[in-house]
Amino acid sequence: MIAAVVLLALLFIGTPIAFAVALAVVTEVLPTGMTFGLVAQRIFAGLDSFSLLAVPLFILAGELMNASDITGRIINLAHSLFGTMRAGLAQVNIGASLIFAGISGSAVADTSALGRVFIPSLEKEGYPRDFAAALTAAASVIGPILPPSIPVIIYALIASNLSVPALFLAGVVPGLLLGVGLGVYCWFFAAKYEKKKQKVSMQARMKAVREGLVPIFMPVFIVTSIVMGVVTPTEAAAFAAGYALFAGLFILRTLKLSDLPPVFISAMRDSSSILIIMGTVAAGNWLLTLHMIPQHVSAWVLEMLQSPWMFLLGVNILLLIVGLFLEGIAAMLVLVPILHPVALSFGIDPVHFGLVVIFNLMIGLITPPMGLCLFVADAIAHVGIGALARRILPFFVVEVVVLVIITLVPETTVWLPRALGF
């Protein structure tokens, strides 16, 4: 296909993926006599979804909660829960990422918000600055795994007839496994850096828990209400945005009306960058379906690979490589329409496969040369991408080990959804 050659060439010279896909579709469509307007129509058709409204609403909720300065409350809560452990402050960093994951659903937001606090704090306690930055970036990967998660919603939209609540629940065990894995590594290899053991009084612990109720309530309500079928993911996202606005203005009183324009502008900018990719890739997927590419790929893979485990191994290798060069959501939009039908042909549980794909691509956020979380962490730490990439390697290994576990043990992803009737 001409479109494939054009797409690869445009990506090679650094064209943003949305424009690269759109131009590739145009070069394939116009010679056939179809009009340019058809491409535009397919782009808008890809965005014509009520469920898709959840994406900008969750982004807005995260921005509002960040602007409400709840990061300090989350850190205090994490410190009260994990601070007395071995390598206490490093464990607090990981614990804060676990809690923050239920609010932002974004690894980049996690790195930015927590990194500004933890990188200098860890350095002050004796940790090397590059280690602190690498740990913060690695722990932020938990954000898109634990619910609520923007990549999970997008995956459910791409893979039709897949339940968002089931995918939300499927991310709970892998997200906790990742937190435990990073915590075990710090327990054995990071305690040597800490100058003194962290101490937390009972009074401070109770105060942190009380102050942490406001941010903790939002993810608990969202996940519970979606799982119980009370609201749709889009309705839950609308509630989350409204709750974040109300909490910031009237409960915490850390948000002012003058703070809102920059918050809404930031949310619109982030939403637009995701939605334009989704629209153009939807047009590309329409073109693939028109030429029956997924069916041909599925038939070829089924002929070449005789085992679902071989297929999953191949997918893991492919996605880890793709994650080096493509942003996770963009890679998901391009590859899932091809890989998902093949996984179903092998009899692989679609929820299990979805979490494997999402976990894979989120690891790409900490791998150079395109790992967004690395760039955000370095913008705070100023240690250089080279030094940060070397420090991130052990954490990358930990995350790949967790990936192998959830790949080979499907129960880690499907047990909770099945136990709750999904």
pLDDT of amino acid 203: 82
pLDDT of amino acid 221: 81
Average pLDDT over residues 254-268: 89
Which residue has better confidence, 28 or 176? 176
SS3 157: helix
Average pLDDT for the chain: 85
Average pLDDT over residues 141-155: 88
Tokens of 181: 């894995």
- Give domain status of residue 276, yes or no: yes
SS3 368: coil
pLDDT of amino acid 10: 77
Token pair 């402050």 is found at 89
Please say if the pLDDT value at position 274 is more than 90.
no
DSSP state letters, 245-290: HHIIIIIS----GGGHHHHHHHHHHHHHHHHHHHHHHHHHHHHHHH
Answer whether the bond into residue 148 is a cis peptide, omega within 30°: yes
- Give domain status of residue 359, yes or no: yes
DSSP code at position 86: T
- Give domain status of residue 152, yes or no: yes
DSSP code at position 244: H
Q: Can you say how many angstroms the Cα of residue 366 is from the centroid of all Cα atoms in its chain?
A: 12
pLDDT in tens, 48-70: 777 778 888 888 887 887 788 77
pLDDT of amino acid 199: 74
- Give domain status of residue 67, yes or no: yes
Round the CA-based radius of gyration of the chain to a whole number and report it: 22
pLDDT in tens, 296-322: 766 676 677 778 898 999 899 988 988
Answer whether the bond into residue 128 is a cis peptide, omega within 30°: no
Considering all CA atoms of the chain, what is the largest pairwise distance in Å, rounded to the nearest integer?
74
Tokens of 334: 């391009």
Q: Can you say how many angstroms the Cα of residue 70 is from the centroid of all Cα atoms in its chain?
A: 20
10 Å CB burial of residue 84 (0-12, 13-18, 19+) is middle
d(CA 411, CA 422): 13
Average pLDDT over residues 338-352: 91
Q: Can you say how many angstroms the Cα of residue 103 is from the centroid of all Cα atoms in its chain?
A: 12
d(CA 8, CA 296): 20
- Give domain status of residue 280, yes or no: yes
d(CA 372, CA 137): 9
Which residue has better confidence, 222 or 122? 122
- Judged by phi (left if over 0) then psi (alpha if -120 to 50, else beta), residue 238 lies in alpha
- Give domain status of residue 118, yes or no: yes
pLDDT of amino acid 1: 61
Q: Are 381 and 132 in contact (CB under 8 A)?
A: yes
B/e letters for 398-412, b = 16+ CB within 10 Å, e = fewer, are bbeebbeebbeebeb
- Give domain status of residue 341, yes or no: yes
pLDDT of amino acid 195: 73
pLDDT of amino acid 312: 92
d(CA 42, CA 285): 10
pLDDT in tens, 87-133: 888 999 999 888 888 776 778 878 887 888 889 888 988 899 999 99
Residue of 336, 290, 325 lying closest to 7 (CA atoms): 325
Half-sphere exposure of 276 (CA within 13 A, CB side): 12
Residues whose CB is less than 8 angstroms from the CB of residue 321 and which lie 6 or more positions away in sequence, other chains included: none
Residues whose CB is less than 8 angstroms from the CB of residue 94 and which lie 6 or more positions away in sequence, other chains included: 82, 135, 139, 142, 179, 182, 183, 186
User: Which residue type, as a one-letter code, is found at position 192?
Assistant: K
Residue of 297, 262, 223 lying closest to 67 (CA atoms): 262
pLDDT of amino acid 198: 66
How many domains does the structure of the chain reveal? 1
Average pLDDT over residues 184-192: 91
Please say if the pLDDT value at position 74 is more than 90.
no
pLDDT of amino acid 295: 65
pLDDT of amino acid 125: 86
Q: Which domain holds residue 135?
A: 35-419
Confidence of residue 324 (pLDDT cuts 50, 70, 90): confident
Q: Are 334 and 340 in contact (CB under 8 A)?
A: no
pLDDT in tens, 405-417: 999 999 999 999 9
- Give domain status of residue 288, yes or no: yes
